[in-house]
Each structure stands twice: as C-alpha cells, then as structure tokens.
Amino acid sequence: QVQLVESGGGLAQAGDSLILSCATSELTFSAYAIGWFRQAPGKEREFVAAIRWSGGYTYYGENVKGRFIIAIGDPRKKVYLQMNSLKPEDTAVYYCAVDRNGILSTIRDAKEYEYWGQGTQVTVSS
C-alpha cells in the first residue's frame, strides 16, 4: 500500500515562499512519477508539477512555471514543492500523488494518478 502524507501548508502573504513536503512509503520505488495537484473551492483539480522518479525530469503547470520547483529529497523518501512568489490565486488544497502508469503524455492528468495524500491547505492573502 502506497502511503503519501503532505505537510508544510499554511498561511502566507503574496510574494512569500512556502515549501510543501510529501512523505512517501517504500513502495514508491515502483512509481513512474510523483505529482502535485491543487484544488480551490468550486474548481477542478489542477496540475501543478510532477517529477519522474527515475531521472528526475520535471514538468510544471503553466500557472506556476517559473515560480514553483519540484524536487526529490535525499534520501528518496520525500518530494518537495518549493513555492515562490505566491499569489492569492495559489490558494488551494495541495495534494501529492503517485503515477505508476509510465505514460509521459498523461503525466499532467490527475486520472492517471493511482494514490493520493490527504492534502494540505495553502492560503495566500493579498
């Protein structure tokens, strides 16, 4: 059973930085990618970033490109999302998830992710 636990959310002001962590269980060695998604009230779940477990290739959503950085920790049991230059529109519940399908073309598609964490709230005030 793959287990994911997010942490690091909280309150921030516009322009601030936050770092989210996603703690993973041992079974994520079989993961193709770890992704971060977010969901604001009344909106669909949105792709934020993903990193391929082998090779460390990274992918970002257009709304966060250039501001957020996804990285695998050392040892490889945590995935981090560093969020810089935060904006009020970044306010959402942030989830990490595991993709084991191995299909690059769908790495941004939430439906391809098999396991999800419980989410952590990020609130950015103006």
The pLDDT-based confidence of 26 (bands split at 50, 70, 90) is low
Q: How far apart are CA 22 and CA 13, in angstroms?
A: 22
* pLDDT above 90 coverage of the chain, percent: 79
- Say if residue 75 is preceded by a cis peptide, omega within 30 of 0: yes
Nearest CA to 87 among 13, 22, 31? 13
Q: Tokens at residue 89, please?
A: 């529109």
Tens of pLDDT, residue by residue over 64-117, are: 999 999 999 877 789 999 999 999 999 999 999 999 888 899 999 999 999 999
Tell me how crowded residue 78 is: count the other CB atoms within 10 A of its CB: 17
Environment class of 32 (CB within 10 Å of its CB; exposed 0-12, middle 13-18, buried 19+):
buried
